[in-house]
């Protein structure tokens, strides 16, 4: 067995330590050898609670000292591109939490940098690795409901993804509900369909203004695809309705409650297998670390693979700002 892939963890908060714990649950695959975070409290936390002895306040210093071939970027969203581009320029494979970046220019710079250097760039689109979501992908691909004509989805929960003092509650830091949360759902839907969005009309608002909060917290959108399938999605931080997914095809329907709840095919409860056979590994961390160790391309969720998701997200944001239907531009 080869040695574990050494990892530099950039961002030692909740998201970063979540990945650290997931990596440790994969014995022998990866080892976080150092952490980077401007917060002294966060650095001390990973030292004390997770035994990460070497920590740095500055990524440039860490890259100069540490030879780890893999970097996990788990910082606030507005720093994803900054940190990922530095790591790629230093010759490291990069896993970056979603969203890949907060504008299309940075998305394309990251994809180009990874491609030119022959490095892996993976995005934390974790729904692709949820068993129920994967199983729906196999049902659609197998033609179980015929040609997909309409997908309706809602993700509605109380709270803005963190308290009102969190960076997530700042538009400039998180990007709002579409990049911060909507990327997950929209990526899963486009992955199911196997195509890109063509146009989108969105209504975006902050319905509960707060002195410390300027995040977009209510979104409703409709997107079209080249095949004619319609995507109808609603996101909210003000209702406790949870997740619902409905897929209507020419020959049947699929409905899923939550991300791991009851799955129905044509109105009947459908048993979901424990493991769904699709390219790549069963968990997002496993896929990234295995690809690094084996020197192979990513089977899922590469930067290039998820570019269409970000194009839809940014077009939806622009539609929300202008009140106009927007074409989704793909490079």
Domain boundaries, the chain: 5-126+281-301, 128-279+308-327
How far apart CA 177 and CA 313 sit, in angstroms, is 10
Entry pTM: 0.94
What's the CATH fold of domain 128-279+308-327? Answer: Dihydrodipicolinate Reductase; domain 2 (3.30.360)
**Preceding peptide of 99 cis, ω within 30°:** yes
Interatomic CA distance for residues 222 and 180, integer angstroms? 19
Torsion angles phi and psi, residue 185, rounded to 5: -65, -45
Q: Which residue has the tokens 């990524």?
A: 59
pLDDT truncated to tens, each residue of the chain (331 aa)?
589 999 999 999 999 999 999 999 998 999 999 999 999 999 999 999 999 999 999 999 999 999 999 999 999 999 999 999 999 999 999 999 999 999 999 999 999 999 999 999 999 999 999 999 999 999 999 999 999 999 999 998 756 545 556 777 777 888 888 998 899 999 999 999 999 999 999 998 877 666 667 777 789 999 999 999 999 999 987 777 888 999 999 999 999 999 999 999 999 999 999 999 998 898 999 999 999 999 999 999 999 999 999 999 999 999 999 999 999 999 7
CATH topology of domain 5-126+281-301: Rossmann fold (3.40.50)
DSSP E strand boundaries for 11-140:
30-36, 54-56, 70-73, 93-96, 121-123
- Going by their DSSP bridges, the two strands 199-205 and 148-158 should be labelled as unpaired
Count of alpha carbons within 13 angstroms of residue 175, beta-carbon side? 25
Contact by Cβ (8 Å): 243, 155: yes
């Amino acid at each position: 067995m080869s040695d574990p892939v050494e990892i530099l963890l950039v961002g030692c908060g909740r998201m970063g330590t979540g990945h650290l714990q997931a990596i440790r649950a994969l014995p022998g695959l990866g080892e976080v050898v150092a952490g980077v975070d401007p917060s002294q409290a966060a650095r001390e936390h990973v030292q004390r609670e997770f035994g990460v002895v070497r920590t740095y306040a500055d990524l440039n210093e860490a890259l100069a000292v540490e030879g780890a071939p893999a970097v996990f970027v788990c910082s606030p969203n507005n720093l994803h591109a900054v940190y990922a581009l530095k790591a790629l320029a230093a010759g490291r494979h990069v896993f970056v939490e979603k969203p890949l970046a907060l504008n299309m220019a940075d998305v394309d710079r990251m994809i180009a940098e990874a491609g030119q250097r022959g490095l892996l760039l993976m995005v934390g689109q974790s729904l692709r690795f949820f068993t129920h979501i994967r199983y729906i992908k196999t049902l659609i691909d197998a033609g179980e409901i015929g040609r997909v004509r309409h997908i309706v989805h809602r993700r509605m929960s109380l709270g803005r993804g963190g308290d009102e003092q969190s960076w997530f509650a700042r538009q400039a830091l998180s990007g709002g509900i579409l990049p911060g949360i909507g990327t997950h759902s929209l990526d899963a839907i486009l992955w199911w369909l196997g195509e890109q969005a063509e146009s989108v009309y969105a209504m975006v608002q902050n319905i509960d203004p707060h002195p410390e909060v300027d995040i977009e917290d209510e979104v409703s959108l409709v997107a079209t695809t080249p095949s004619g399938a319609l995507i109808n999605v609603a996101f909210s931080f003000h209702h406790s309705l949870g997740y619902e997914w409905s897929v209507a095809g020419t020959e049947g329907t699929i409905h899923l409650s939550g991300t791991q709840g009851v799955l129905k095919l044509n109105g009947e409860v459908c048993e979901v297998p424990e493991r769904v056979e699709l390219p790549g590994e069963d968990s997002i961390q496993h896929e990234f670390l295995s690809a690094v160790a084996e020197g192979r391309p990513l089977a899922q969720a590469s930067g290039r693979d998820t570019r269409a998701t970000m194009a839809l997200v940014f077009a939806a944001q622009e539609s929300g700002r202008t009140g106009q239907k927007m074409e989704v531009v793909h490079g």
